[in-house]
Amino acid sequence: MKNNVKRTFFGSVLAFFIGTSCCWLSAVAVWFGGFAFLGSLITFIENTQILILSITVVIAVLSLFLYFRNRINENEKN
């Protein structure tokens, strides 16, 4: 039983660090010289933002279509 408590504690600590990584991970990347990489990545995303958003909308509409099609097929079987 004691071993499970340790696993739960370390799991919660790991989840805390992963959950807060949005706040400190960018600072760590800058400290280690990743600013140039992050800058180029942000520039790439900025240039392709309309394309990425368009693909997102298409995938969302497709997933809704497939969901409702499967739902209708299940209702017809019953």
Same domain, 3 and 25: yes
Same domain, 1 and 30: yes
42 within domain boundaries: no
User: What residues in the chain have per-residue pLDDT under 50?
Assistant: 1
Task: Tell me the per-residue pLDDT of 8-25, one tens digit each, with 9 for 90 and over.
Answer: 667 777 777 777 767 767
Same domain, 52 and 27: no
Q: What percent of the chain has pLDDT over 90?
A: 0
- Secondary structure letter of residue 1 according to DSSP: -
- Secondary structure letter of residue 78 according to DSSP: -
Question: What is the rounded CA–CA span in Å between residue 47 and residue 5?
Answer: 48
**How many separate domains does the chain show?**
2
Same domain, 26 and 55: no
Q: Which domain, by its residues, includes 16?
A: 1-34
78 within domain boundaries: yes
